[in-house]
Chain A
Amino acid sequence: MKKHLYILYLATAFATLLSCADNSLEETPNDGNFPFQLLLDAEEGADLADAEDYSVEIKFADYLPDATLPKSAITLGYTLSDLEGDMIGNVTIDKIVYEVEMDDCIYERELNFTKDTDGLSGTITLSPDADLNTVPSSFEIVFTLPGEDATKGSFKFELTDLTSNENVDVVLGSPRVFEYEVLDNDVAGEWEFEITSEEDLESFKSIFGHLNADLEKLTLGDITGKVKAEFEFEEMKFEIELSQEEEITSCENGETETEVENKVIEIEADYNAEDGEIELEGSHVIVNDEGIEEKELDFIVEGEYEINEDDETLTFVFMKVVDEDNFKDGEELYSSKDGVTITFKKD
């Protein structure tokens, strides 16, 4: 009898234990489940009016290293919508391609897709690659564009749905919609500047030498004098061509090709050019005296620009260069009311 009563006591204590406030959340976050997410690489993009095609990348979001991409086909639904201007009736999917790298060679392969009768919707079949044994981690949709100099207009591409084998945990992530428009800002395109003197070089270095340690060390003899500027959708880059050449070996689709090219120094930035004012924003690496990269800092270059349509020149006057450590009055990397003037010619 006693034994039973003690058991009863312990049962009560245990029940007390279980009934104690646990204070858990009403709903548990679903954060331990990591499905593969397929998403568009960008929400918007643009190219010059005469662009004949444009590629949009679709990729799997980062996934855990021990996860394996699906081995069975995934079907994606898509639509093309909101076509405006010259895009109406002229935009269609040309092909869908992906790359496979094997033995240091890149092979471009295509995916199957369907179009409905109007060409504005259909499906893309993401099939496993025979060599990868899984579906590719990314692929590009290549759109055919009007390709006329005066092209205007825009369109939207949207991934609408995803169908996969029940055993494959894949979902459509965000963004799912891509908006294309014709790039219409003044500076868009490719431009070239010829450095012909020490003065030109020093002038260029006085602005951009702060943002690239290799550039800062250059002498006139180190360069060919050719400086290229490319302004694309929201991004730009300068390429300073060096005298030194290098062999570039590439292998595409089983064919190896070796070319001798001049080395280049690149400076990349996001840009905003509007109403004659331009601002470049990027980041640069600080290298110490021993050549060790110490840190990376954001920079801003401020200036003005002017287009001369007659002689197809683009003239910049860069007046200020600052970074995160050097931005206060008097501490800027470069600051002058007169600025440094550099004139590019249309390439």
Chain B
Amino acid sequence: MHKNLQTFISKSRKLSLYTLSGILLQCLLFNFLLAKDGTAQNIYDVKLRLEVKDKTLKDVFSTIEEKTEFTFTYSSKKVDLAKKITLDGQQTNLGQILESISRQANVAVQQVDNLLMVKAQETAVVKKQAAANGVIRGRVVDEVLKSVLPGATIFQKGTNNGTTSDVNGEFFLRVPAGDVEIEVSYIGFRKYSEVVTVPENGVAQVELKMISDATELQDIVITGVLQGQQKALNQQKTADNIKNIVSADQIGRFPDPNVAEALQRVPAVNIERDQGEGRYVLVRGLAPQFTNISINGEQIPSPEASVRYVALDAVPADQLASIEVSKAITPDMDGDAIGGSVNLITRTAQTENISVNASGLMGYNNISGKANLQGSLELSKRFLNNKLGIMLNSSYYETERGSDNWERDEHQLELRDYELTRTRLGLSSTIDYKFNEKNEVYFRTLYNRFTDREQRRRYIFAPNVDDSPFEDNEIERLTKDRLEKQIVTSFNLGAKHTLSKFSLDYEVSYSEAIQDTPYDIEIGSVGEVDQLSTDFTTNAKFPTFTVDDLPNTSAQNIYLDNSIYEFDEATMGNTYAKDVNKTAKFNIGIPYKAGTSDGLFKFGGKVRLKEKSYRITENVFSYTGSDDLTLDQYAGGSVDDNFLDGRYKLSANADPEKFVKFFNANRNDFELSIEDKLATEAAESFTAKENVYAGYIMSKLQLSKLMILGGLRYEHTSVDYTSSNVINESEIIPEEGGTDYSFLLPQLHIRYNVTDNMNLRAAVTRSYARPNFSDIIPAQEININEGEGTIGNAKLKPVAATNVDILAEKYFGSVGILSGGIFYKRLTDFIFNRRFESDQYPGSEGQVIDITQARNGESASLFGFEVAYQQNLTFLPGALKGLSIYANYTLTTSNAKIQSRDDNTNEEEIRLPGQSKHVGNISLGYDLGRFNFRVAANFNGEYISEIGGSADEDLYVKDRVQLDATTTFTISPKLRFFAEFLNITNQPFQVYQGEENRYIQREFYSWWTRAGLKLDL
């Protein structure tokens, strides 16, 4: 307890030091810049009430000039100064008063310092001047919170010519030169229109300031959370394809510490966890390798050796502006995404006002009894009249976790006690420079470092159930200690050019992912006992055992005596996996007219050169010293005296630190197993090169309410590998392999705007998923003596898919959505492990052996239905109007054909691995003034995690409901306190084999909390 307290205090100091030093430093940095920012007061900050009835516009202008420091300028020829104006005194500031005047007098008012420029709104003029074109370039911002609004719809009034703002709230719109009225709409905000004078072949720069729609949102305080929800829904609504958006602000709405856990709230997304923390994302019931993970639109290489997908718990959410989950891809996106494409978008400096976002959190993990901490700091500011933007972001997270776990293998019972220390460091920056309205360059950097030190203490109780004279009743004691570092670094340098005839963007990027395991040690000791039996039936959830006829609950049980365990072997080693992507790409967009409709023709190309390698060092040592070496001589470290709530007793296991000291001091008494080392290292190490060349053409056409987007993408992939074959665990033969494949991927998307707030969407797309490296590397392990072998398949083709999606979505002004849709996927060349007899393999002398190899050839289909509903229930009476609900549910069924496991000549049908029939979320929130409380439940249905040798051996991850709660108190608009409580009901991770009551794993993590402050300056 005392130790824990000390750790807590130490971490508190660390957090405070980290946060305070960062804040102080950055405040110092930017103080002088803040002082320079002297601009006129914003019209919405000028408190003013006017009550006039049928007064002329000229008189009202005069009254305002008398009461404020502002002066109107206008052309009396164009503005009807005699227009009668009535103001009822409800408007509380100058901005609102001018809005009312604008509507009544059909004028637009634009603030330039203390000048208020008044222009008549005459759409007729626009039409007359349509012959010459120009561009309106601008940004949509929240007038009150001063933040940018992504996903806003900007239309040239009275036409189909429109666009949407990007993640930075920025947009450009090609329009006829002259005075053009544009209209902006945004869920939760009032519609806004403004007349912009656009020069011929030039660019007009505007900033469109939106006002929150008080009638829809009534008494709800607009916080960052609600604003995040608004941003997400607006982007979703205006997207060309079917996608879900999670804005960074919105992540704070749920107690999700990392990107993977934030994504579990998205409809049709579930996650795989590691030690209770979300890690891999499964979209629409398809395994992680079917989902493409990108940062700023560019694929991230995977630090892990055998796979392509990325562990998203390595990415701190604080680095991101938003997360996009595209469920139907467009031709300008990478085609290798059957389940979906997850794009993580980093932040960019938005305003000339310095923006400081900082957070500091501390928490407690119940199972480890230790603290966790998190700190983040972000600075951003635009300089040189908005031309140069710099954003710097850093975050650090550290947690000490653990888990209590039991596992079953036939009659063997294994107890696993985990102790983990994980850290997550994220550093990112974006530097962008806008030369002028037409040209900009940017440079983005990102560095993520995730470390995971794991100590795993195992007891394996292996009874000699058959009373075999060749076996003993054995208890094995193992301690594993390893440090794993995952480092992802990326650099993106690109430019955007917006010209009157076309737009061009291009980018070169370098990204590198490393998984470095500098040490991985496992120390094994074995003891033999006279009697040992395990019982998995009396209590299937917590099996029992007896040793020498004493129950597992007995403190006198001999298995707790470390002197009965003799040293068996120590495995030491390290691994290093590296994956590098070098990418270059360009996109060109050319606007065009089709009758009265506006369209955009787009084409582009991309080259991605990948190099992936893996090397492993594994040294297995046996002890040859003359003195006995038993566990009690090297045991130590912490002992969990409440393992699985005290159901099992544990004694100190091998202490790696202690053992390593003994090993180093007695190095000559340990003998290396050379044959094992050479076989393991040769069979697992590989290098691979994969070059991808892609090009696409697409066109988007807006026909009144109907948007059609269609195109083709072509991707060619060329792959080469080198590895080794290992025959009979001794003979090593170098191996090379490679293949080429191409895909032509047609894509069609349709969006029909039934009303301003209702869309119907449909998409038919082709996509594919490349095989995991572990399947395609031609490494082979052949054991002729045992008549079996595993062979990689360098010729393995990717899985191809045809995807059909139909979705209807209704958005609510009170910031909400009701959506529902169906999806269908037909997968061909589905990859599965095939077992067959063959005499064709390296080292063959004609013997027929059983070969296991990943093969193509079978098909699979997947059908699903998803519905999502979220709304702030502001229509309810009284205090109930503070309630909000967030719910989604996805039903999925799948059918895959594989080689029959009972009869090699037939087929059988199974569910796709990773596919849950039911996935959903329900969350209830309550807003009361500055106080917000939310409780959220996430449901993941059962799914097959591993296909066994027969249906009885299939492994299923059991369904799981996790209950979390979070509360926020907005101390001031700039400062929020929040607290989170996760896994309240201590939901375990459970795996069963074949039938539901045959558990083979139950892992418990208990609950954990976090609380802290968030500062947004």
Contacts and interface: CB of A to CB of B under 8 A. Distances in A.
Interface of A: 1-2, 5-6, 8-10, 12-13, 16-17, 20-35, 37, 39, 43, 61-65, 171-177, 290, 292-296, 298, 300, 322-324, 327-328
Interface in B669-696: 669, 671-675, 677-678
Contacts of B661: 27
Nearest to B674: A62
Contacts of A37: 668, 671
B733 to A, nearest CB: 14
Interface string B824-836: 0000000000000
Task: Specify the main secondary structure of chain B where it touches its partner.
Answer: mixed
A5 B469 contact: no
Nearest to B21: A12
B657 A25 contact: yes
B392 interface: yes
Interface in B773-792: 785-787
Contacts of A16: 18, 22, 394, 396, 425
B25 A12 contact: yes
Task: Specify the main secondary structure of chain A where it touches its partner.
Answer: loop
B393 to A, nearest CB: 9
A21 B669 contact: no
A171 B33 CA distance: 68
A29 B626 CA distance: 21
Given A25-B660, A327-B470, 7 more contacts: A16-B425, A17-B427, A28-B660, A31-B573, A34-B672, A43-B626, A327-B466
A294 to B, nearest CB: 5
Contacts of B453: 23
B449 interface: yes
Contacts of B449: 17, 20
B518 interface: yes
A251 B22 CA distance: 81
B637 to A, nearest CB: 12
Contacts of A327: 466, 468-470
A174 B674 contact: no
A22 B483 CA distance: 8
Nearest to A320: B469
Contact of A173 (B33, B427, B668): B668
A33 B670 CA distance: 12
A177 B660 CA distance: 25
B469 to A, nearest CB: 6
B730 to A, nearest CB: 11
B29 A9 contact: yes
A224 B377 CA distance: 91
Contacts of A294: 786-787
Contacts of A12: 21-22, 25
Closest 10 CB pairs of A and B: A174-B624, A23-B453, A62-B674, A31-B572, A5-B29, A29-B660, A30-B664, A171-B668, A31-B619, A174-B669
A27 B626 contact: no
Interface centre among A26, A30, A324 (most CB of B within 10 A): A30
A25 to B, nearest CB: 6
A239 to B, nearest CB: 25
A292 B787 contact: yes
B766 to A, nearest CB: 43
Contacts of A177: 626
Contacts of A328: 466
A81 to B, nearest CB: 14
B451 interface: yes
Interface in B394-449: 394, 396, 398, 421, 423, 425, 427, 447, 449
A281 B390 CA distance: 76
B572 A29 contact: yes
Interface residues of B, number: 61
A20 B423 contact: yes
Contacts of A28: 519, 660
Nearest to A299: B470
Contacts of A323: 470
Contacts of A9: 25-26, 29, 379, 392
Interface in B494-544: 518-519, 521
Nearest to B397: A20
Contacts of B675: 62
B853 to A, nearest CB: 20
Nearest to A324: B470
A247 to B, nearest CB: 25
A20 B397 CA distance: 10
A152 B209 CA distance: 107
23 contacts: A1-B32, A6-B29, A13-B392, A17-B425, A17-B449, A21-B421, A22-B451, A22-B483, A23-B421, A29-B572, A29-B664, A31-B573, A31-B663, A32-B619, A33-B667, A64-B674, A64-B678, A171-B667, A173-B624, A174-B625, A292-B847, A296-B785, A298-B470
B617 interface: yes
Interface string B453-473: 100000000000010111000
A30 B670 CA distance: 11
Nearest to A17: B425
A42 to B, nearest CB: 12
A24 B518 contact: yes
B674 A63 contact: yes
A35 B669 CA distance: 12
Interface string B627-639: 0000000000000
Contacts of B673: 62
Nearest to A32: B617
B521 A29 contact: yes
Contacts of A27: 657, 660-661, 664
A21 B621 contact: no
B656 interface: yes
Contacts of A172: 668
Interface centre among A64, A173, A323 (most CB of B within 10 A): A173
B848 interface: yes
Contact of A5 (B28, B398, B521, B674): B28
Given A13-B394, A37-B671, A23 B483 contact: yes
B621 A31 contact: yes
Contacts of A25: 481, 483, 519, 521, 656-657, 660
B663 A30 contact: yes
Nearest to A302: B469
B468 A324 contact: yes
A34 B421 CA distance: 31
Contacts of B398: 20-21
Interface centre among A21, A43, A173, A290 (most CB of B within 10 A): A21
A292 B663 contact: no
Nearest to B847: A292
Contacts of A29: 519, 521, 572, 660, 663-664
